[in-house]
Structure 1
Amino acid sequence: MSLVTKEEMALLDKEAIERFGIPGLVLMENAALRVAEYAGTFFPGGLAGKQVLVFAGKGNNGGDGLAIARHLQKAGAEVKVFLLCRPEELRGDALTNYRILAKMEGKFHLLLEEKDVQKADISLMRADLVIDAIYGTGFRGKASGIGARVIQAINGSGCPVIAVDVPSGLDADTGLAEGPAVQADATITFGCPKIGLCLEPASSYVGELWLGDISLPPVLYKKAKKHLITPQWCSARLPVRSLASHKGNFGHVLAVGGAEGMTGAIYLAAAAALRSGAGLVTAAVPRSLHPILEMKTTEIMTRPLPETETASISAESLEVVLSLGKKASCILLGPGMSEHPSTASFVKSLLPQLTQPLVLDADALNILSEVPQMLASLRAPLVLTPHPGEMARLLKTSPREVQKNRVQVVREASRQWGAVVVLKGARTLVADPQGELFVNMTGNPGMATGGSGDVLAGIIAALLGQGLDPLTAAVIGVYAHGAAGDRAASVQGLMALSAGDLLNYLPSVFLDLEEKKPPQGKRINDRLLRIFPIP
C-alpha cells in the first residue's frame, strides 16, 4: 500500500483534476461520503437525533467538513457547524459546499475570538460526536490562536472525535505535533495514507486509522517509493515449498555470536531462524558457552570457537568461521557478541571476505561504528538491523536526532552503505539503496524487552537463507516479528511479554501467510478499509 507526503498528495489531487478531468468538488464529495459512512457506525441506532458538531477551517479540509455536515444532517443528525473563519474567506469548492449547506438551512456559528469558543464549550458538553475539519494535510508548524484554543476544547470535552484526513495540529509528514493537536478516536484519510499518520508519536492523535476511497485513478500510485507493509504483500512473496523439497532447499543459517552472560541472545536468534523456515541452523559460540547451548537446544547445530579470557569470540576464530561459512546460505553476526578488542579484530577481518547474504546486528554494528566506512565496501548482500542507539553510533550523532528524523536517517544510511537498513523501534522502518521505504504497523510496547531484536535478526536471516532478496526478507521479517508480538500480547498482555514468547507465535503468523490467509483489514464497505490496528 502506497504512502505519500502532503506534497505528493497535493500533486496526486492536482493530476486527478487536470489530467483525468475529475472535478475537485467530486473528490470532496467522495471524501465527505466516506466520513459520513463511518460516522454512521458510531451509533447502533443510527445518526437520527444525535448531536454532531463539525469544526471547519477555511481550506479544503473545512470544505470537506461542510460537505460532511450536509450528509450527516440528511441522515437525521442535529448538526452544528463551527466555522473558524468568516464565510467570505472561503474559496472554491469549500465556498460551494458552504452555499449548499446554507440553502439547506444548516446551522452555522463563527469562532473568531475567545468569547465565541465559550459557546463551543457549552455545545461540546451536550455533543454525541465531533468532526474535526479544522486543518488539513497542508498544515505545518504549531497550532495557535483560536485554532489552538478550539483543539484544546475538543480534547477536553471527552466527546468521540473523527478527524478528517489528519488530526488538526498534526504534521502529516512527520507525525509530530509542535503544539496542541486533536486526539481523535478515528482518522479517515483519503486516497493514500499520509506517511506521518503511520509514524510515532502519531498514534496518540490518530486513533483508529481508516482509508477512504475517493476514486483517484490507481495509476497515480504506481511510482510510489514509500509503502505500508501489509500481510497481503508478505504472503505473495513468501518462499514456495514444493513436495520434492529437502532441508538443503531451505537454506543454512550460520549464527555467530555470544559472550559470557549473553548466551541467550545467540540462542534466540538461532531458534527464530529455525522457526522462520531455515532448513539448517548452526550457532557458533565461544568455547565456554558451547556446553550451555548444547543443553539448551536440540534442532540447532552448534560449533565451539576459540575465545578470549572473558569468554568472547577471539580473533583466532577467523579461519573456523570462514570454513563454516562456506556451507551457509546466510550468515548472522552480532547477537550477544561483546565488543572485546579481539572480537572486534575478528569482525573487521571477517566481513571483507564474505560474499554470502549477511545480517549484521547488535555488537557487530557497535564494532563497525569505529569504521562505518567499511560497510560501503563489503561484497556481501547486507541487511543491517540497528536500534536508534546503534544507528546513532554508526552515524556519529545522537539517538534523539535519529528519532527526530527517522525516515530521512534510514534512507540516507541505506544509500550511503549500499545495504538494506532496518531501523527498529515503534513503527520499524525498512529502506533500500534505491530509495524504497517500508513502514511496519505490527508490534507493541510489550516487545520492548531484551532479546526481541535477536529474534528479528534470526527471522530475517532465515528468509535471506531461503533465497529472498535482502529487501523482501527484511520487510517480511519485520512484519512477522511484530505480528508474533501482537499475538503474544493478545494472550499474555504487554507486561509479561518476553522475547522467547515470540518464538511460540511465529508458527501461526507464517501459517496464515503460507495459506494466503493473512489477516484482512476490517471494512465497513468496499470504500472504507481500516489500516490500524491490524486485526
Structure 2
Amino acid sequence: MNIPSFAHPVLSCADAKQYESKLMTDDAAEWAAMQKAGAGISRCIMRDYQELRPLPDHMRILALVGKGHNGGDALLACGELLAHFPRARVDLILTASPDDLKPLCARALKGLEGRVKRHRFEVESVEQGHDLLDSISEGRGFHICLDGLLGMDFRPPLRSPLDVLIQAVNDYDAIDLRAAVDLPSGAGDEASELKFEADFSYATGIAKKPLFEGIANCGRVRYLDLGFYNHPEAEALDGAEYVLTPRILKPLNKLRPASVDKRKFGHLFIVGGSAYMPGALLMSVQAAVRSGVGLVTAFAPESVAAALSAQVPEAMWVPWPETSNGTLNPRAIPLLMDRISMASAVLVGPGLGHDRNTELLAQDMATKVELPVVFDADGLRSRVVEIAQKRKSSYGKIVVTPHMGEFMRIAKITEPDYDPETLLSFSRIYNVITLLKGANTRICDGETILYNTTGGPVLSRGGSGDLLSGLIAGMIAQNNSDEMTAVARGAMLHGLAAQRLARARGQIMVNTTQLLDYLPDVLRSLDVNSRTRGLGLS
C-alpha cells in the first residue's frame, strides 16, 4: 500500500520486530538507531518536563536499565541529558550484572563510566524498594525516572525482582516525570496486569499498537521518527492504523503566492451559539479566523450577534432569529441557504444548545447542504449520522467530532470502546469522517485511522473543543476536496499549540483561548522537511 507522506504505520509488536529485523542487518545499523533514539528521548524529556517547571541544573535522574536495547536507549538518553546538564546526577538501577548485558547495552553503559552511579535492585518487597529509592535520592526524590527495563519482546508473567521494582517505582510519589522507552515495561501484544505507569511513552522508530489501547494506557505517546519508513521494505507494510507526523503541516509552512486573494483560501460558514451560550461560538470563530481561511461568516443569535461581532470584526456576522428558548430558529434556514453558494464548508454546533429546534436545524443542515459539514458539540445528533448514510456521493463529507461520551450516544453503544474496528465500522457504515477526541485523538474515514498524539491535559477544559472545531472547519474550507487530511491537519495544529502553551505556562492556570497565541509559533519553528527530526514536539 502507499504510505501517506505525513503518517507512519502503527504495528503490533510482532510485526514491528519482524520489520526491524529487515532494517537492522548488523550491529552498526542497530547502534546508529539506538543513538538516534537516545538523542530523541532526551529532547522529548527536556521539552515535556517544562509542563511542570523549568528543568533544574542539578537534575536528579533515575534510570531503570534492563539488559536489552531498551536499556541501551535509556543509557544513551542519560548521556545526552548529562551533556546538556553536566551538574545533573544520574543513578542507574541495573537488573542484570554488566557481564549479562547485551553487547550494545554494555557499550552504552561503558560510555557513562565515571559519570553515573550504579545500583543493583536486590530487595524483596515494595517497602524495601522505597527505602532503596530514598537512600539513592538522599530523601529528595527524582525529577525524572526513565524506564528501559523491558522491550517489545516481553511476554507475561512479570517475574521477580522486576515486579517488585516496577511496583515500588509506581508507588513512589517523589518522582516528577515518569518516561518509558518505546513501551512501558509490562506492556506488549500480551500485557501484564502490572506495568510501569508512564507519564510519557517515547515510541522509538515504530509506534506499537499497545500504546493506543484504551484512553491513556501508556501515558502520553511521543512518536520518534528514526527514518525507519524511508526504507523500500516499508512498501510491503499493510494495515489501517497510522500515527501522524508534523509533516502534515508542510503545505501551511510555505510562502503563499503573490497573486492570490482571500477567496483562494476558502469561505467558512459557522452556525451556532445561543442566547445563554454565546462563548462557544465566539471561540470557534476566533480559531477559524486564525486557521488561514480567507473568509468566515458566522450565523449567531440575533440577541448576541452585535456583541460578538465587536470581538471578532474579521468575521462577517449574520443575526439569526431565535426561539423562545434563545436558540436558533430552524425556520430561518433560508438565511444560510440563500448564501450557501459563497461557502466552501460549514461548521454546525458550537454553543447551539440542545432542544428540539436545534435538532431540526442540524438535520436540515445534513440534508440540504451539499458542501462538507462539520458537526460538533450540540450539533452531534444520532439523526445527523443517519442522514449522512444517505448523502449523495457527489456531496462533501460529513465530519463528526465526538468525545467518547458523545460517540457512545451517536454510535449506539453502551460502554466506552476504543477497539479500532468499532471506529472503522461506525465511520464506514454511516459514511462519515469521525474525529474521536481523547488522549490519543483518532481520525477515521472508515478505511484508515490516523492517531494524533499531540495535545495533553492542558486541553481538559471548557472551550478546547470549540477551538478545535474552528481550526478543523477552517482547514476543510481551504481544502474541501480532501476532508480527511484537512481534519488531521487541524487536529495536529491544535495539539502542537497546546503543547507550547503548557510548556510556557503549565497545564493548570491558563485560559483556553491562550492556545490561539501559540499557533503561529508552531508553523514558524517546526522543521517539517527533516525525515529524522520531525518529532511532532514543537
Which residue pairs with 2:245 in the alignment?
230
Question: 1: distance between equivalents of 2:453 and 2:511?
Answer: 20
Question: 1: distance between equivalents of 2:320 and 2:150?
Answer: 61
Q: 1:257 to 1:21 in 2, by over 3 A?
A: closer
Which residue pairs with 2:10 in the alignment?
4
Which residue pairs with 2:82 in the alignment?
43
**Does 2:398 correspond to 1:386?**
no
Which residue pairs with 1:466 in the alignment?
478
Question: 2: distance between equivalents of 1:520 and 1:154?
Answer: 37
1:207-255 superposed Cα distances (whole Å, 9 cap, x missing partner): xx57485978723334464333333331246686311111111111110
Which residue pairs with 1:518 in the alignment?
526
Identity, % of aligned positions: 26
Q: 1:64 to 1:334 in 2, by over 3 A?
A: farther
Which residue pairs with 1:54 in the alignment?
94
Which residue pairs with 2:168 in the alignment?
153
Which residue pairs with 2:109 in the alignment?
72
| Residue identity opposite 1:475 in structure 2 | A
Aligned match for 1:444, one of 438, 456, 466: 456
Contact 2:182 2:201 in 1 (8 A): yes
Contact 1:16 1:216 in 2 (8 A): no
Q: 1:333 to 1:203 in 2, by over 3 A?
A: same
Offset at residue 197 of structure 1 (A): 3.8
Question: 1: distance between equivalents of 2:189 and 2:444?
Answer: 20
Question: 2: distance between equivalents of 1:201 and 1:444?
Answer: 11
Aligned match for 1:14, one of 9, 14, 18: 18
Question: 1: distance between equivalents of 2:308 and 2:133?
Answer: 66
Q: 1:246 to 1:38 in 2, by over 3 A?
A: same
Q: 1:181 to 1:205 in 2, by over 3 A?
A: farther
Query: Bigger relative contact order, structure 1 or 2, given CA contacts below 8 A and separation 6+?
Result: 2
Contact 1:451 1:499 in 2 (8 A): yes
Offset at residue 463 of structure 1 (A): 1.2
Question: 2: distance between equivalents of 1:277 and 1:242?
Answer: 14
Offset at residue 308 of structure 1 (A): 1.4
Q: 1:263 to 1:172 in 2, by over 3 A?
A: farther
Q: 1:179 to 1:66 in 2, by over 3 A?
A: farther
Spell out the pairing of 1:18-417 with structure 2 (5 A cutoff). Answer: 22=25, 27=30, 31=34, 32=69, 34-44=73-83, 52-55=92-95, 67-69=104-106, 71-73=108-110, 75-76=112-113, 114=124, 125-126=135-136, 134-139=149-154, 143=158, 146-155=161-170, 163-171=180-188, 179-183=193-197, 189-197=203-211, 201-202=216-217, 204=219, 211=224, 213=226, 218-222=231-235, 223=237, 225-236=240-251, 241-365=256-380, 368-370=381-383, 372-378=385-391, 379-398=395-414, 401-402=416-417, 405=418, 407-417=420-430
Question: 2: distance between equivalents of 1:313 and 1:427?
Answer: 33
Q: 1:421 to 1:64 in 2, by over 3 A?
A: farther
- Root-mean-square deviation (CA, aligned residues, Å) is 4.3
Which residue pairs with 1:102 in the alignment?
none
Offset at residue 282 of structure 1 (A): 0.8
Consecutive unaligned residues in structure 2, runs of 5 or more: 1-6, 35-68
How many residue pairs end up in the alignment?
A: 479
Q: 1:193 to 1:285 in 2, by over 3 A?
A: same
1:345-388 superposed Cα distances (whole Å, 9 cap, x missing partner): 222233122211211111110xx224642222233222221122
Question: 2: distance between equivalents of 1:186 and 1:503?
Answer: 25
Question: 2: distance between equivalents of 1:171 and 1:386?
Answer: 28
Question: 2: distance between equivalents of 1:349 and 1:130?
Answer: 54
